[in-house]
Structure 1
Amino acid sequence: MNDPTESIRRAMVNEINAEPGSREFLEAKHGQVWDTTQLQQDFEVLGFMAPLIAARRRSDGIKGSLMFQASPRFYFGWSPE
């Protein structure tokens, strides 16, 4: 299977995980940050291809995407469609 986004996503993963940020760092850079439990409360995850997640916000049904870092696992950068 040919994924035209693979090289871009791999570069993003390397950049995000090169120096994983604390929750406070990510909040200062990206705004709201979710841990896994909070993500499950606020979003329905539709799919993912690291470092991106497709999700539906539970409060209003709007679809969009978030990014995540590996460890510690935090989700950030909510972007509605």
Structure 2
Amino acid sequence: MSDPTESIRRQEVAEINANPGSREALEAEHGQVWDTDQMRADFDALGFMAPYIIVSRKCDGAKGSLKFQHSTRLYYSFQAD
């Protein structure tokens, strides 16, 4: 099965994880940031395609996506669909 987004996503993963941001830096650039436990408290994970996770927000059921970096694992930039 061919994934037309694979090369773009691989490039994003490399860029994000080459110089992962601190929580403070990510908050300054993207707004709210979640660690894994916080993300699980606020969202249900529906699927992963690094550097994105598809989620459903628990408070209102809104579906969307978050970006994430691997180490330290932080989620940010929620975009509702």
Give the TM-score taking structure 2 as reference length. 0.98
Query: Where does residue 20 of structure 1 map in the other structure?
Result: 20
Identity of aligned pairs, percent? Answer: 63
CA distance in 2, matches of 1:70, 1:62: 24
TM-score with structure 1 setting the length? 0.98
Matches of 2:47 and 2:23 in 1, distance apart? 23
Distance 2:8 2:71 in 1: 20
Structure 2: state its 5+ residue gaps: none
The number of aligned residues is 81
**Are 1:46 and 2:46 an aligned pair?**
yes
Residue matched to 1:68: 68
**Structure 1 CA distance for aligned equivalents of residues 31 and 16 of structure 2:** 16
Deviation at 1:24, TM superposition (A): 0.2
> Which whole-Å deviations, capped at 9, do the CAs of 1:30-58 have from their partners, x for residues lacking one?
00000000000000000010000000000
Q: Distance in 2 between matches of 1:28 and 1:52?
A: 20
Segments of structure 1 that go 5 or more residues without pairing to the other structure are none
* Backbone CA RMSD of aligned residues: 0.4
In structure 2, C-alpha distance between the alignment counterparts of 1:77 and 1:12, rounded to whole Å: 14
Provide the C-alpha distance between the structure 1 equivalents of 2:62 and 2:72, rounded to a whole number of angstroms.
Answer: 27
SS in 2 for 1:13: helix
